[in-house]
């Protein structure tokens, strides 16, 4: 355990972690090894479940519990057809936190809270934060446009104070964070902590193949782009030959590729076509998508898997926050969290000396 001085915030008090830092639930990346390493470092590790079957999720939760006694969470898809089953695993296994990429229903929130699980959805707009706060969630993660993966257009520095002023629950800032200075800046805006994806992906505890990590480390800020060609929604990722190809591809080519990827993901996940159609209906309604966009969404899991699991930077996409352009090393989670907290303390002392 680190002897770095703690910074107590509403997040650390709510969840019971030592430090106000969250490792986000990245598909194919945030598995038991990374999550337990983040948790043992004093951060809140979040297990990504969307690419797992329900039995795989239970096994992964149990593996994390075998590796750490610290609190951790599970990220869930609120619009998944088997969301209730996944919530059941979270409740039965005694997971501390349930996070959501989309707003969970009132019923799921109530079921989790009745079981003592802390509910923390991610939001990209003030109105979404206000809605879920009214439904009784315990905290929210607010991701600005700098964040990796599916993202919005409003910068963290604009979105974060909006949400902090609008709700009376802890707000966790995401999008553009990597160090102690960023943590102090988020706290100054009124956040209760920071959530980081790309920074934890680029650690020695991450299972992402070395060749893929090397592509991230070599990237500059200008090498990170936003495209809608993967799944019809704005998606921030590293620019690559594949992304350039997707940008040039026509509509018919994109839809045919999506059909192939939908079939591959069905085999990978063990889902039936009926279940995938139900998920597509839920996604279409929840995000107001066209059927073409729903079909394109089948691209995402398999293109991410090609890079994050198989190491094929030529065949996969590499979701990335803009902050990747400033990252140049691969510390362990323990080294990273200790460094962030030491930098935060140094920054706070510097600010104190100004007064």
pLDDT score for 248: 76
Structure tokens at 142: 């607010």
pLDDT digit string (tens) for 108-158?
999 999 999 999 999 999 999 999 999 999 999 999 999 999 899 999 999
Of residues 352 and 5, more confidently modeled: 352
pLDDT score for 255: 59
Q: Which range has the worst mean pLDDT, 171-180, 186-195, 232-241, 329-338?
A: 232-241
pLDDT band at residue 164 using 50, 70 and 90 as cut-offs: very high
Q: Which range has the worst mean pLDDT, 228-242, 296-310, 314-328?
A: 296-310
Tally the C-alpha atoms within 13 A of residue 338's C-alpha that lie toward its C-beta.
12
- Where exactly are the structural domains of the chain? 10-209+326-354, 220-319
Q: What is the mean pLDDT of residues 329-334?
A: 98
Whole-number percent of the chain with pLDDT over 70? 85
Query: 37, 99, 101: which is closest to 70 by C-alpha?
Result: 37
Q: What is the mean pLDDT of residues 192-198?
A: 98
Whole-number percent of the chain with pLDDT over 90? 74
What CATH number does domain 10-209+326-354 carry, 3.20.20.70, 3.40.30.10, 3.30.300.20, 3.40.630.30? Answer: 3.20.20.70
Given a cut of 90, whether residue 73 has pLDDT beyond it is yes
* CA atoms 317, 318, 319, 321: torsion sign: negative
Identify the DSSP state of 18: S
pLDDT score for 30: 98
State how far the Cα of 122 lies from the Cα of 47, in Å rounded to an integer.
Answer: 14
State how far the Cα of 296 lies from the Cα of 130, in Å rounded to an integer.
Answer: 30
Given a cut of 60, whether residue 227 has pLDDT beyond it is yes
pLDDT digit string (tens) for 4-54?
778 999 999 999 999 999 999 999 999 999 999 999 999 999 999 998 999
State how far the Cα of 31 lies from the Cα of 38, in Å rounded to an integer.
Answer: 11
**Tokens 């038991």 appear where?**
32
Structure tokens at 46: 């979040």
pLDDT band at residue 238 using 50, 70 and 90 as cut-offs: very high
pLDDT score for 319: 96
Given a cut of 60, whether residue 284 has pLDDT beyond it is no
Q: What is the mean pLDDT of residues 170-198?
A: 98
Return the axis-axis angle of helices 83-92 and 54-67, rounded to nearest 10°.
Answer: 30
pLDDT score for 276: 52
Helices (H), 9-98: 10-15, 32-40, 54-67, 83-92
pLDDT score for 292: 55
Q: Who's near 328: CB < 8 A, 6+ residues apart?
A: 217
State how far the Cα of 303 lies from the Cα of 318, in Å rounded to an integer.
Answer: 8
The predicted model scores a pTM of 0.89
- Average pLDDT score, the chain: 89
Task: Extract long-range pairs of 186-192: CB within 8 Å, 24+ residues apart.
Answer: 186/160, 187/7, 187/9, 187/20, 189/157, 189/160, 189/161, 189/164, 190/160, 190/161, 190/164, 190/165, 191/142, 191/160, 191/164, 192/9, 192/10, 192/11, 192/12, 192/14, 192/20, 192/139
Given a cut of 80, whether residue 256 has pLDDT beyond it is no
Range with the largest mean pLDDT of 200-214, 216-230, 247-261: 200-214
Q: How many residues in total does the chain contain?
A: 355
């Amino acid at each position: 355990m680190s002897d770095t001085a703690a910074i107590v915030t509403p997040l650390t008090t709510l969840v019971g972690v030592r430090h106000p830092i969250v490792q986000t639930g990245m598909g194919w990346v945030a598995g038991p090894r990374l999550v337990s390493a983040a948790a043992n470092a004093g951060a809140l590790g979040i297990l990504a479940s969307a690419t797992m079957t329900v039995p795989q999720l239970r096994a992964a939760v149990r593996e994390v519990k075998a590796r750490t006694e610290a609190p951790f969470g599970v990220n869930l898809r609120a619009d998944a057809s088997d969301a209730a089953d996944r919530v059941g695993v979270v409740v039965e296994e005694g997971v501390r936190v349930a996070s959501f990429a989309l707003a969970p229903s009132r019923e799921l929130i109530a079921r989790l809270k009745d079981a003592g699980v802390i509910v923390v959805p991610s939001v990209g707009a003030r109105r979404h934060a206000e809605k879920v706060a009214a439904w009784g969630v315990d905290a929210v993660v607010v991701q600005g446009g700098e964040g990796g993966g599916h993202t919005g257009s409003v910068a963290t520095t604009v979105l974060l104070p909006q949400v902090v002023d609008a709700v009376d629950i802890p707000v966790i800032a995401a999008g553009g964070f990597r160090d102690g200075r960023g943590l102090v800046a988020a706290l100054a805006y009124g956040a209760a902590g920071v959530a980081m994806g790309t920074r934890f992906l680029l650690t020695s505890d991450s299972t992402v193949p070395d060749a893929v990590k090397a592509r991230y480390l070599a990237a500059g800020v200008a090498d990170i782009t936003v495209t809608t060609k993967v799944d019809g929604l704005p998606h921030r990722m590293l620019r690559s030959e594949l992304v350039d190809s997707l940008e040039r591809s026509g509509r018919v080519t994109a839809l045919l590729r999506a059909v192939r990827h939908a079939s591959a993901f069905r085999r990978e996940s063990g889902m039936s076509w009926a279940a995938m159609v139900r998920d597509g209906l839920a996604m279409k309604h929840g995000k107001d998508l066209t059927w073409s966009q729903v079909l394109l969404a089948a691209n995402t899991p398999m293109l991410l898997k090609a890079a994050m699991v198989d190491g094929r930077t030529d065949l996969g996409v590499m979701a990335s926050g803009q902050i990747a352009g400033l990252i140049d090393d691969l510390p362990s989670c323990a080294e990273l969290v200790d460094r962030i907290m030491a930098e935060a303390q140094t920054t706070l002392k510097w600010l104190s000396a100004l007064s």
